[in-house]
Amino acid sequence: MRRISLVVPVYNEQESVELFYRTAARLLEAEPYEAEFLFVDDGSSDATMDILRRLHESDPRVRAVSLSRNFGKEYALTAGLRYASGDAVIPMDADLQDPPELLAVFLRHWERGADMVVGVRENRDADGRVKRWCAALFYKLFRRMTHNMVEDNAGDFRLMSRRVVDELLRLPESVRFNKGLYGWVGFPRVVVPYTRPERAAGRSKWPGWKLWNFAIDGITSFSTLPLRLWSYLGGLIALAGFAYAVLIFVRTFIYGVDVPGYASLMVVVLTLGGLILLSLGIIGEYLGRVFEEVKKRPLFIVRETVGLDGAGSRRAGEGNGERPGREGDFPRDAA
C-alpha cells in the first residue's frame, strides 16, 4: 500500500493542531492509502508538542519533529520534507486555511500522473485589502524578474510526488524560498483553485514586515535583475553627468565663468548620495546571501522526534543513489 505524508509545520498552534488532525484523519479514512501525519514543531513555546505526543500515543500515524528553536517556516517545511516517507507529500497549514477537503482532489490528479498538484486561492477575501494588493504585485514582479513558473496566489499547499521531493532535497541553498524552488524543479503539474477560509483558531504568525523580508528573500534568491538594473541606471547617470559637463564647458567658453547656485549643487549631491547608498544596499542584500551560503551551517537542528525511529521510513534520495546535503545537515534523533 502506498503512503501519503501530510507535512504540517507548526509554531504555537495548540488551539488548532488537534482540530486539524481530527479533520484530516476523518477525510483520509475513505482513501486507499496509508496515511502519515508529520508535524514539525518550529520551536513552539506553548503546549503544541505535548499535544502531538498525546496524539501519537492514540494514533501511531501521528509523528513529530521538534526543532531546537524557531528556525522559520521555510526550514521547518524542509525538515518535514526530509523526514516524510510518503510516495506523495502534501505540505499543509494547521489552521485549516488549507482545506483538507481538497486532499481527495489532489490524490485523484496524482493517480492520473501529475507530479505536482498546486492549490491556488481563487480569492483572498480572508486577507486585508493591502495584503491582497501587495501579494498580487509580488507575484507579478517575481514572475517577470525570475522567469520562474510560480502560480499566482499559490502557497505551500500542494501535493508532490516522491521524485519531486527528492529533487527539492538535493538543492543545497541555505536561504530557501520554497515557492520558487517548487517552480524551479519543474515536473508536470495541475492547478486546483479553491476558496481560502478564515483561520479555524489562533492568529497569523506572519506580520507585514516579515512578509516584506520574505519577498526580498524570494527575489534575491532567484534573480540578479536588481543588480543589472542598477548597472543600467549607473550608466545613464554617468552619461547625463558627461552631457552636463559638456554643457557647462560650452556655456563657460561662450559666456564666461558664472557662479553655480548652492541649491542646485545640494540637489545633485543629495541625489547622487542617495543613489549610491541605495546601490550599496542592493549589493549588500546579495552579499549577505553569499555570506549565508558559504558558512554551510545545517538548515535546522532537531531536538526530539516522536514516532520516527527509522523503521519503515524512506530516506530522501533513495532510488537515485544519492543522499541530499552533507551528512551533518539533517541530524536525526530517535524518540
Residue 33 has pLDDT above 70, yes or no: yes
pLDDT tens for 130-154 read 666 666 676 677 667 666 667 777 7
Range 194-208 average pLDDT: 62
**Among 256, 178, 130, which residue's Cα sits nearest to residue 7?**
178
Range 107-111 average pLDDT: 91
Residue 245, phi then psi, degrees to nearest 5: -65, -40
- Residues 116, 73: Cα–Cα separation, whole Å: 20
- Helices (H), strands (E): how many in the chain? 10, 8
pLDDT tens for 148-188 read 667 777 778 899 999 899 988 888 777 777 887 888 888 88
H or E element at residue 327: none
Q: Which residues contact 237 (CB under 8 A, 6 or more apart)?
A: 272, 275
% pLDDT > 90, the chain: 16
> What was the pLDDT predicted at 127?
60
Q: Please answer whether residues 320 and 166 qualify as being in contact, where contact means their C-beta atoms are separated by less than 8 angstroms.
A: yes
Q: Please answer whether residues 141 and 219 qualify as being in contact, where contact means their C-beta atoms are separated by less than 8 angstroms.
A: yes
- Which of 32-36, 197-201, 254-258, 267-271: highest mean pLDDT? 32-36
Top pLDDT among 46 and 324 is at: 46
**Among 20, 26, 152, which residue's Cα sits nearest to residue 91?**
20
Nearest 10 degrees: CA dihedral of 263, 266, 271, 275?
Answer: 180
Place of cell 548652492: 262
> What was the pLDDT predicted at 266?
60
Top pLDDT among 5 and 205 is at: 5
- Residues 1, 197: Cα–Cα separation, whole Å: 33
Domain ranges of the chain: 3-207+297-306, 225-295
Range 117-129 average pLDDT: 73
Place of cell 548597472: 231
Residue 262 has pLDDT above 60, yes or no: no
> What was the pLDDT predicted at 9?
92
Range 73-101 average pLDDT: 89
> What was the pLDDT predicted at 320?
35
Range 222-239 average pLDDT: 70
Range 198-221 average pLDDT: 60
% pLDDT > 70, the chain: 67
Residue 243 has pLDDT above 90, yes or no: no
First-last CA distance in the chain: 25
What's the pLDDT band for 245 if we cut at 50, 70, 90? low
- Which of 19-28, 120-129, 194-203, 210-219: highest mean pLDDT? 19-28
What's the pLDDT band for 213 if we cut at 50, 70, 90? low
Top pLDDT among 318 and 255 is at: 255
Identity of the residue numbered 254: I
The superfamily (CATH) of domain 3-207+297-306 is Spore Coat Polysaccharide Biosynthesis Protein SpsA; Chain A (3.90.550.10)
> What was the pLDDT predicted at 5?
93
Top pLDDT among 129 and 290 is at: 290
pTM (whole model) above 0.75 = no
Residue 244 has pLDDT above 60, yes or no: yes
> What was the pLDDT predicted at 335?
35
> What was the pLDDT predicted at 55?
92
Mean pLDDT for the chain overall:
76
What's the pLDDT band for 214 if we cut at 50, 70, 90? low
Q: Please answer whether residues 306 and 56 qualify as being in contact, where contact means their C-beta atoms are separated by less than 8 angstroms.
A: yes
Among 15-19, 137-141, 278-282, 295-299, which stretch is predicted with the lowest mean pLDDT?
A: 137-141
